[in-house]
Structure 1
Amino acid sequence: MNIEIAAICDAATANDVGGRMNILGAFDRIFAKFPLVIPQCSAAFRLRYQRAEAGTHQLSLSIEDVVGHPIVPPMQSEIELQPVAQGFDTAAVNMILNMQRLQFVRPDKYIVRLVADNEELAALPLYVLEDPRLAQQNQQPPQTDGVDGRA
């Protein structure tokens, strides 16, 4: 099995007819104030497999900090890879996980990790960082009106 597409994004959809996947707003970094709650986002993957790999497989998707601690419980699933159609060497399947209210309590580098049958297929970095504009606002002296020095 090989990953052809792996993205963290604002939204994703897949069409079973024709195997098309739509990805909107792919990203790998967020600048924010903490704690951060992302109202909605998606993890989108396109997996290509060989004829011999058709069948049932165990999947796990986790979001971890750099030390390996999950920030949400790992999501476990089973996927049935359909037999490869006659006349083709391989087939592909789109997988989309929509997430609601994803929370980050501190700035850090996080990893979105997809594992199939205990083999890591993808490890996407997600940099969740303090918004530099907020730090600049905190360091600037208060504005004065220039007449008597009062703000």
Structure 2
Amino acid sequence: MLASVFAPRSYVEVDHHHIELGIPKGANTENRRTVLDNWYWQELRGAASALIETWQERFGVEVDHFFIQRMKTNWGGSSTQRRTIRLNLELAKKDIECLDYVILHERAHFIVLNHGDGFIALLDRHMPNWRHVRKHLNDLPLGFIEKP
């Protein structure tokens, strides 16, 4: 109930150097996190939709649905049987190239299930700099750690 009261008067604005979060007076930390997470979710949803469509055209393999969720240990995941991809919400805070790599990685599993030579060849063919992007992504923090 509280989030719905704050939602119409809350906003997120971004410029080249800052993210400004506008929250009505009286909003607590959880309300702030909800507004910001919703904004990140929308941003990631839009960027991922476009990239998934691009890879779909290149691979010719459809993804039926993708999910965005908080993940503690992975940037993404996939289910070839259900034809779904899961993306870590924290990808919204990373370079678009990192999101592109994770989507490519998960899409490639629709063709090659393991991380063997065929999988690596597929990544090499479609994103020659994937190793550099993966290293950059893995050098970044997976998310924030909340102290009790």
Q: TM-score by structure 2 length?
A: 0.23
Between Structure 1 and Structure 2, the one with more helix by share is: 2
Structure with the largest fraction of strand: 1
Q: TM-score, normalised by structure 1?
A: 0.22
Q: Which has the larger radius of gyration?
A: 1
